[in-house]
Structure 1
Amino acid sequence: MEQSPRAGDLDANAGAGLGDADGHVGGASPVAAEGRAEPSGAPDRPALGEQKLAGAEIWVTAQRRAEDLSAALQRHGASVAVIPTLAVQQRADEATLIERTRALIADGADIVVVTTGFGFRMWMETLNPAGLVPHLLEMLGKTEVLARGPKASGALKQVGVTPAWVAPSESSLEIRDVLVARGVSGLKVAVQLDGTGDPALIRGLREAGAVVLELPLYSYGAPADPVAVGRACAELAGGRFNAVAFTSAPGASGWLTVLDEDQLAQVRARIAAGSLVLSAVGPMTAEPLVALGLPVRYPDRGRMGALVRLVVDQLSD
């Protein structure tokens, strides 16, 4: 089934099964991406003796949960190279985060936005030694909490907080648009930031008159081994790898920044010839690739288990 990319798609790990990495890229793409519906109940483990990916080599660009994704693909017989195209850098300054959280607990907020399950859990881990987790959860229980998709929602529910609304597109831009449309002038909005800092969300809320409290947890940076990424890009252009799997929009963007023009042309040629497929965990992750007109497929459900099944289907057709 073909799909056009939504403004956003997923990240953070919550709920059953394999989770995915978060990312955020705004704006609709003029180029359609290909999607394929995946049965929500399909098993992640192949039948005994079934190795549909035997002989296939797959480049996993993820850093977080890369071992889970790699293991799932290997169970289907694939050879997997885990070469992250970006790195989750050290968590934000803990003293500042704790100070801002104390202020949030003391003063409250009209709205709290949780963008990623990964970031929310990191927030809880950071606050735990200071004994602030029960106080924050009590405050959240009395506050309108919005989640940027099912994974952020799942992380909240794991600690007993039910979000008032979950963005269907899993996009920060949708949250911005909904809040601005209903009016936030004079309201205090606390935002747990994703790895990009969510500049469009923060700017949009402030321009609409909201008082915004930013809660940074982590940030993205250059890959830990840029030489390995550069070498893999050259080998990809030369014919190595049958598929490249992406789990976040920043990771996809990082991959594109390493490819030079000649390598990108070779990637396009390989895709056209059917010797290479690009797979993303969801439309938001696919957005940087789609913006350059690269054919990319993603499952209907933004989960890595669904991504694995999609890759299996693509390479075993």
Structure 2
Amino acid sequence: MSDRPRVAVFRPDDERLTEAVETLGSLGVDAVADPMLAVEPTGTVPQAADWIVFTSKTGVELATQAGWSPANPDGHDPALACIGPATADAARTAGWTVDLVPSEYSSTGLVAAFDAVGVDGVGVEVARSDHGSEVLLDGLRDAGASVHETVLYELVRPPESGHSAEAAADGDLAGACFTSSLTVDHFLDAAADRGVREAAVAGLNDAVVGCIGHPTRETAEDHGVDVDVVPGEASFESLAAAVVAELND
């Protein structure tokens, strides 16, 4: 058995989890892969608008698989905004032109980017999961946009999730990488289902806990979880590096 530190990661069980495990391994720790999110498509596609906003690579891929394209038959194609480079890369792979990527990869960053562009009186379609932040919708409306939201997919907790919570409860985790508020909620729900919620929180508080952004940090702290690091860039690579650096400090 490896004597390297064990760090939990909660990404969906697809290439994101594979890449996260590889990233942690390259940093000298063993990943405890425990997916806390599974995607359930709703079958819907974005509605027509002046701007279309995608907040995840998953949303882009589901829209593409459904045969959707931003191109309009009349030639008046909408502008396209993506929350970060991974989402933008997926859109470009689909053959779409990306017009806006905020410098801060978050709902707050998108609002700031749209404030700079100006969306007063403009129609904005937000295509995302059922757990999107209200910050984006409220911010766009405050900027004068006419906003519509389409839920492309729901995020649910896999029924088999939770072995990382038991590891935390046993004091067997050196760190944890939370990539959204929902991963925090689902981790704690899984811990409760296994009867180890209090012990799991205590175990996390003895470990290095990293959160990908301040909303995720706030969720964790609201549940009594001490957060040690929030990287400057909202990417898993930065999160993993920050957690491991704190472990090695």
Corresponding residue for 2:20? 69
Q: Which has the higher contact order (CA 8 A, sep 6+)?
A: 1
TM-score, normalised via structure 1 length: 0.61
* Higher mean C-alpha displacement, 143-152 vs 213-222: 143-152
Q: Does 1:92 align with 2:42?
A: yes
Aligned amino acid, residue 54 of structure 2: V
Superposed displacement of residue 277, structure 1: 0.8
Q: CA deviation at 1:57?
A: 1.7
- Tell me the CA shift for residue 253 of structure 1: 2.7
Match status 1:123 vs 2:123? no
Cα distance, 1:137–1:300 mapped onto 2, change above 3 Å? farther
- Unaligned 5+ segments in structure 2 are none
| Aligned-residue CA RMSD (Å) | 3.5
> In structure 2, which of residues 186, 210, 214 is the aligned counterpart of residue 279 of structure 1?
210
Structure-to-structure mapping, 1:39-50, within 5 angstroms: none
Classify the secondary structure of the residue corresponding to 1:295.
coil
CA separation of 1:69/1:137 partners in 2, compared to 1, >3 Å: closer, same or farther?
Answer: farther
The aligned amino acid for 1:196 is: H
> Distance between the aligned counterparts of 1:110 and 1:223, measured in 2?
36
Alignment match of 1:295 (pick from 227, 232, 249): 227
Q: Give the corresponding residue for 1:162.
A: 98
Q: Answer yes or no: is 1:309 the counterpart of 2:245.
A: no
The residue that corresponds to 1:224 in the other structure is 159
* Percent identity over paired residues: 21
State whether residues 115 and 192 of structure 1, in contact with CA within 8 Å, keep that contact through their aligned partners in structure 2. Answer: yes
How many residue pairs end up in the alignment? 239
**Contact 1:54–1:78 (CA under 8 A) maintained in structure 2:** no
Partner of 1:241: 173
Offset of residue 174 of structure 1: 4.7
1:161 shift after superposition: 0.9
Quick check: 1:172 aligned with 2:107?
yes
Are 1:145 and 2:80 counterparts? Answer: yes
Structure 1 residues 238 and 134: CA distance shift in structure 2, 3 A: closer
The structure with the larger Rg is 1
Conserved 8 A contact 2:177-2:209:
yes
Higher mean C-alpha deviation, range 246-255 or range 169-178: 169-178
Q: What is the CA–CA distance in structure 2 between the aligned matches of 1:208 and 1:315, rounded to whole Å?
A: 42
Q: Which residue of 1 aligns with 2:5?
A: 56
